[in-house]
């Protein structure tokens, strides 16, 4: 049964394509064998107390172990569509690719467009097309990271599906979680979509080059975000002009180093 609509058909295929290689399509692997069972005459209660996301969380921990063993720093990037995740990555790859080995797992419902942009920027990339799925999960990351053949001591960026709701519940095994807000959105995004901000470690506020043309108040936005998560750290950037990007690189490389 697929996780996007519960169907047992093939409409909701998860597609993984390493940029530059032939694509491979497969349905999310859920087996449903309804075998023969012996009749029981009496009913009985089974106490479970099982976390609903147990399966995902176990797989996420496996990914985390894989990353740790290979000294890979992984970062789960989440935001609404259009906040500048891919542009931020392109700029980051351009500026850091000679310092550290970078990889990207691109999550989108459809198209190879983002993978193409990342490949052009110069990083190995795998595109995960979730079909109708609204988020990446630990199983997709487990497969994607193996296909990418990630080297030790590298950084893996996981660009989640642009969505401020669903990705927040699914642990991917990442080292850190990054949420991106942009100045063209409302300042109150953090309180409208609190879960994603609550579970993030860092918050990038992008498109600060547009501030003179907008009514966006960066302090109001930060204040809302701090109400949701008072541990959140902010970095203000413009991925287009490069303003503030040095601070982001410094924070990124520091986080990678601290993990060692």
Partner 1 sequence: MHEMSIVVSIVEIAESEAKKANAEKITEMELDIGTVSGIEIDALNFAFDSIKHKTMLKDAEIKINIIEAKSICEDCKYEFKTENVYTLCPQCDSYKTSILKGKEMKVKSITTN
Q: How many residues bind partner 1 (CB under 8 A)?
A: 51
Closer residue to partner 1 in complex, CB, 4/86: 4
**Residue 222 beta carbon to partner 1: minimum distance, rounded to whole angstroms:** 11
Q: Pick out residues in 57-116 that bind partner 1 (CB under 8 A).
A: none
**DSSP calls for 2-14:** -TTT--SSSTT-E
Beta bridge partners of 107: 128
Beta bridge partners of 18: 126
Under 8 Å between Cβ of 223 and 235: no
Q: Pick out residues in 12-31 that bind partner 1 (CB under 8 A).
A: 30
Stretch touching partner 1 by CB under 8 A, among 108-116, 121-129, 160-168, 252-260: 160-168
Q: Determine, following the binding rule CB under 8 A, whether residue 219 of this chain makes contact with partner 1.
A: no
Q: Determine, following the binding rule CB under 8 A, whether residue 218 of this chain makes contact with partner 1.
A: no
**Residue 227 beta carbon to partner 1: minimum distance, rounded to whole angstroms:** 4
Q: Tell me which long-range contacts 26-30 makes (C-beta under 8 A, separation of at least 24).
A: 27/2, 28/2, 28/3, 28/139, 29/139, 30/1, 30/2, 30/3
Binding residues for partner 1, rule: CB under 8 A, are 1-6, 8, 30, 34-35, 37-56, 133-135, 137, 165-166, 168-170, 190-191, 194-195, 198, 223-224, 226-230
């Amino acid at each position: 049964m697929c996780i996007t609509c519960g169907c047992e058909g093939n409409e909701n295929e998860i597609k993984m394509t390493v940029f530059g290689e032939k694509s491979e399509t497969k349905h999310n692997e859920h087996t449903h064998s309804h075998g023969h069972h012996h009749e029981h005459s009496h009913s009985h209660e089974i106490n479970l107390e099982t976390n609903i996301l147990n399966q995902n969380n176990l797989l996420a921990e496996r990914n985390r172990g894989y990353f740790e063993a290979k000294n890979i720093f992984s970062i789960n990037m989440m935001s609404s569509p259009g906040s500048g995740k891919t542009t931020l990555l392109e700029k980051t790859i351009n500026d850091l690719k000679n310092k550290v080995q970078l990889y990207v797992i691109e999550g989108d419902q459809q198209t190879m467009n983002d993978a193409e942009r990342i490949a052009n920027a110069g990083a190995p990339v795998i595109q995960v097309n979730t079909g109708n799925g609204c988020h990446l999960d630990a199983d997709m990351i487990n497969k994607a990271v193996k296909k990418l053949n990630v080297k030790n001591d590298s950084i893996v960026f996981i660009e989640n599906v642009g969505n401020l709701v669903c990705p927040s519940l699914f642990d991917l095994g990442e080292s850190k979680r990054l949420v991106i807000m942009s100045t063209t959105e409302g300042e109150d995004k953090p309180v409208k979509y609190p879960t994603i901000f609550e579970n993030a470690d860092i918050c990038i506020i992008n498109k600060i080059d547009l501030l003179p043309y907008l009514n966006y108040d960066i302090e109001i936005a930060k204040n809302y975000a701090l109400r949701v998560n008072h541990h959140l750290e902010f970095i203000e950037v413009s991925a287009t002009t490069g303003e503030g990007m040095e601070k982001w690189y410094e924070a990124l490389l520091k986080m990678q180093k601290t993990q060692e």
